[in-house]
Amino acid sequence: MSFCAGLSKGALRVHPDCERILISEEEIRAKVADIGRRISNDYAGKEVLMIGILKGAMIFLADLVREITVPVQYDFMAVSSYGASSKSSGEVRILKDLEYGVEGRHIIVVEDIVDTGLTLNYLAENLKSRDPASVKICTLLDKPSRRIEPVEIDYNGFVIPDEFVVGYGLDYSDRYRNFPYIMVLSPKVYMNEGE
């Protein structure tokens, strides 16, 4: 059984909002190191531009770039769908764009999770239209059961079931992003939403 430890590294303390830990700190660390090694091998002799999609990917990107041994630059984009109803229409707005052009650059888009695939589908097309040398996709989590648009993922951390997960960048109401593991959120946290 997995316990939901609090943020203190001391005695295990069950966090009241945690149903169970899905992916531990150790498992995340090993996976990030593995993806970092693969990227370093694949891009030997090249420089790579990692693009983190705010806010969720920030923590994964911060750990990942430190596992990469080829020259790396990183930048961020922020996007927003037009709310839940239009999310299914695939409309995505760019709230913050890249600082510089990406023409001729080797790009890796970094996400915390691919869910419906609508965000990455839009972003991949948008970035490809800017004439980069290459575009690859890297995500820590993949929830294929929720997919609406297909996404070709080049670096895939963990395939997960359709459960409400938070931690390591993922949030509920902007909370839990700082938890060092991925946990299934207890339904009691969101059950009475809207009441």
Q: Among all residues, which ones are annotated catalytic?
A: 115
The nearest distance, CB 170 to ligand PRP, in angstroms, is 7
* Closer by beta carbon to ligand PRP, 32 or else 43: 32
131-164 per-residue burial string, b: 16 or more CB within 10 A, e: under 16:
ebeebbbbbbbbbbeeeeeebebbbbbbebeeee
Binding residues among 135-174 for ligand PRP as defined by CB under 6 A = 171
- Tell me, residue by residue from 68 to 107, as one string, x for binding to ligand PRP by CB under 6 A and - for no binding: ----------------------------------------
The nearest distance, CB 180 to ligand PRP, in angstroms, is 17
The nearest distance, CB 165 to ligand PRP, in angstroms, is 11
Q: CA-to-CA distance for 65 and 17, rounded, in angstroms?
A: 30
The nearest distance, CB 137 to ligand PRP, in angstroms, is 11
Query: How far is CA 42 from each of CA 70, 103, 125, 169, 176, rounded to the nearest angstrom?
Result: 10, 20, 22, 26, 33
Q: Per CB under 6 A, does 38 bind ligand PRP? A: no
Label the pairing between strands 165-166 and 92-96: unpaired
Please report the DSSP string for 117-131 in residue order: SHHHHHHHHHHHTT-
Among 48, 113, 160, 189, binds ligand PRP (CB under 6 A): 113
Across the beta sheet with 182-185, the strand order is 18-23, 182-185, 165-166
CB-based closest residue to ligand PRP = 56
Tell me which stretch binds ligand PRP (CB under 6 A): 65-73, 102-110, 116-124, 155-163.
116-124
Among 31, 63, 119, 127, binds ligand PRP (CB under 6 A): 119
Q: CA-to-CA distance for 63 and 36, rounded, in angstroms?
A: 9
Among 118, 124, 135, 182, binds ligand PRP (CB under 6 A): 118
* Closer by beta carbon to ligand PRP, 19 or else 112: 112
Q: How far is CA 126 from the centre of its chain?
A: 18
Q: Per CB under 6 A, does 186 bind ligand PRP? A: no
Binding site for ligand PRP (CB under 6 A): 53-56, 111-119, 171
